[in-house]
Amino acid sequence: MPGRRHRLHRLLLCACLWAMALPLLAVERFPRPDFKTGYASPALATPAARAPWLAYLDVAVLVAALALADRFALRTRTRRGLWALTLFSAAYFGFWRRGCVCSVGSIQNVAQSLADPGVAIPAAVLAFFAIPLLWTLFSGRTFCAAICPLGAVQELVLWRPVRMPGWLNHVLGVVPWLYLGYAVLYAATGAGFPICREDPFVGIFRLGAPPAMAVATALFVVASLFIGRPYCRFFCPYGALLGLMSRVSRRHLTITPADCVQCRLCEDACPYGAIRKPLPATGPEPRAAGVRRLAVILIAAPLLTIAAAGAGFALGDQLAARHPRVALARDVAHHPSAEAAEGSVERTAFFASGATPDTLDAEARALQRRFAAGGAFWAGGLALALFFKLLGLSIWRSRKDYEPDRATCVSCGRCFASCPVGRRPSPSSVPPRAAGGGAIRSATPERIP
């Protein structure tokens, strides 16, 4: 009965989300113009908008894949099923859909639509952003386990993982929050979608990439042979949000279906450093020293946050330099004559529009003010993220068994096969109870799938 209620709650949640997203459905309503002057339209750099029925199909496949990942990771605990689902996700969400739109990139669409009321977000994009986040609140990071095409590629090519130092994992764990703020800032100000522009896996899914991106793709693939999911762990901005949701999830993957025997095999099997060791009730230092360190962090946190926000505000001009309108305004300010416009398509279009340099300069200054405010929030938010990271490391928590870290565990199921508690005698091999009321357990184990 509880399992049925959980499934019903998920279905109702997804149905309500889909119903709310329907009014936001935005599709291309007009065909591309047919020029009569011999003009050839350039090839699209991104995939064309999918037909509405295909968008519905994509969302349905996403929900079905999440349900399967939930079942394989939390119920049947089968690594084989997660592996098969990983292959399907790489083929469907990656190569067939050409990686667009993905949940990672949908962050930018949501940020742009919230910042600009005139921008409508397609329902499928909203669904790909919200459904995995809401699902994580119930089942942990099962989306990362076998559905995200970016993680699927890294999972499939992982060959000989090496163990990374714990301190390095913690330091690099701040980068996704930095990347998240960077992507939201540029998308909200109309400067473009940096996640899509710099995604190292787009070249794989679309079977082609510019030279610089091809080099980045090759580096990530080579790194993924030896480092477990380097992009997911140290760059993915959506993974940062999923990790935050997973900390408070109702359920989560467990290493063993029964009592832990502390054999450490799961720790050796996890290539992501997501297994936490047992810890005693008391820390390695006196309680007074821990309290003093925590007090220093609490006092320094607001000061560092204010200082970081001030630095982000001061960098507003530099952050705005990548915006196309700001770059054009600076170009026009250096060469204000229309005769020098032949070398730039943007300059030619600007002078042909009849707009004045003063109008363009005012627009650029308004954008610089927006970037200054956004830079303050970005840097201040990053300082807060670092503060909570230090706070979590400073608080001593006792653990009796080996447990997965809820934030960093991607529910891949690699620890299932290593756990000896996952072996139990077959019911047919257990003899009947003896006269004394005990049962003799067979020494021949049967592996749980």
pTM: 0.81
pLDDT of residue 48: 63
Intervals of the chain under pLDDT 50: 1-2, 5-6, 8-10, 12-31, 44, 425-449
Q: Assess contact for 179 and 235: CB atoms under 8 A.
A: yes
Domain ranges of the chain: 2-27+49-278+405-424, 287-394
Helix (H) or strand (E) holding 447: strand 445-447
Residues in the chain, overall count: 449
Residue 126 CB-density burial (10 A; 0-12 exposed, 13-18 middle, 19+ buried): buried
Distances (CA, A) of 177 to 200, 244, 381: 18, 11, 9
CA–CA dist 349, 353 (Å, integer): 6
Place of tokens 């764990």: 173
Phi, psi of 110 (to 5 degrees): -65, -45
pLDDT of residue 71: 95
Contacts of 1 (CB under 8 A, 6+ apart): none
Pairing of strands 423-425, 403-404: unpaired
pLDDT of residue 134: 96
Q: Assess contact for 105 and 195: CB atoms under 8 A.
A: yes
Q: Assess contact for 69 and 84: CB atoms under 8 A.
A: no
pLDDT of residue 397: 80
